[in-house]
Amino acid sequence: MSRLKILYVSSEIDPFLKTSAVSDYVRKLPQAMQERGMEIRILVPRFGLINERKNRLHEVVRLSGINIAVGDEEKPLVIKVASVPNAKLQVYFIDNDDYFNRKSVFTDKDNRFYSDNDDRAIFFCKGVIETVKKLGWAPDIVHCNDWMTGLIPLYLKTTYKNDPMFKDAKAVFTIYDDSYFDHQFDASLPGKVKMLDIDDAAVASLQTYDYKAFIKIGAQYSDTVTKADRNVDNRLADCYGQVRTDEVPTIEESAETFSDAYYQIYNSLKPVPLEAAQS
């Protein structure tokens, strides 16, 4: 029997990059699930702060080479991989020189928010899905972390809903408080996000063109929404869509029940026989 397959998607992971709570969360959870017998893949952006030589990143040629459309432009996708030290975990990095070859993450040296961060998020989310397709690895659960991954549940439930790699996948979306930003994107955002089979109504929640837009659409199209921080509700309680605020569980990385809580969530979304989960 096959083990539960979990794809983790995040803006960062320790030790390769650590700028927020996301990094520790996504470092701890995949290893905990792997130790419980689950099959894991992790994908993050290759931001310029990540030292490729120090972290022993190398390109995976068989996965690289396709172009990803963002609006009217297409950019080449490069995939790199490295291993987490002292853990049996590999991390795949989504890369493109135009979007990620910068010595900072979301703001420039003067702390100004990059105006193309929406394009970078679109490229990343589409690149993740196409990379998984090339891997030929069909995840049971796609666990998206933070705003930058918020478009993936949309794509899974629309464009890729009948794709053999994703047709049975369930989406989990975790919201963080410390990644909040005030920048407002321009009105071209919904149009750039859409694909041929995605209509205006499907991306209506993006029309605030801000941080909340990415959170709303991630929550809207996910099967389960969780919070990484109790403070999330202070600014984002209106982003959960049809789910009541008190039904969105807070699962903090420091909690003793952290891995137990997600183990139960994953198995409730995609039950597998106990002997398969422990094999």
Q: Residues 13-23: pLDDT tens digits?
A: 999 999 999 99
* CA–CA separation, 131 and 163 (whole Å): 14
What's the confidence (pLDDT) of residue 223?
94
Bridge partners (DSSP) of residue 176 are none
Q: Residues 248-274: pLDDT tens digits?
A: 999 999 999 999 999 999 999 975 554
For all residues of the chain together, what is the average pLDDT? 92
What's the confidence (pLDDT) of residue 54?
94
What is the pTM assigned to this prediction?
A: 0.94
What's the confidence (pLDDT) of residue 245?
66
CATH number at residue 11: 3.40.50.2000
Question: Domain range for residue 83?
Answer: 5-277
Number of domains composing the chain? 1
Q: Residues 168-215: pLDDT tens digits?
A: 999 999 999 888 999 999 999 999 999 988 999 999 999 999 999 999
* CA–CA separation, 163 and 269 (whole Å): 19
SS (H, E, C) 161-228: CCCCCCCCCEEEEEECCCCCCCCCCCCCHHHHHCCCCCCHHHHHHHCCCCHHHHHHHHHHCCCEEEEC
Residue 114 buriedness (CB in 10 A; 0-12 / 13-18 / 19+): middle
* CA–CA separation, 30 and 52 (whole Å): 22
**More confident position, 276 or 226:** 226
- 279, pLDDT greater than 80: no
- 276, pLDDT greater than 50: no
The whole-number average pLDDT for the span 157-174 is 96
Give all strands (DSSP E) within the chain, no chain letters: 5-9, 39-45, 58-59, 67-70, 73-76, 78-83, 90-95, 141-145, 170-175, 224-227
What's the confidence (pLDDT) of residue 70?
95
- 144, pLDDT greater than 70: yes
Percent of the chain with pLDDT over 90: 82
What is the token pair recorded at 152?
A: 């993936």
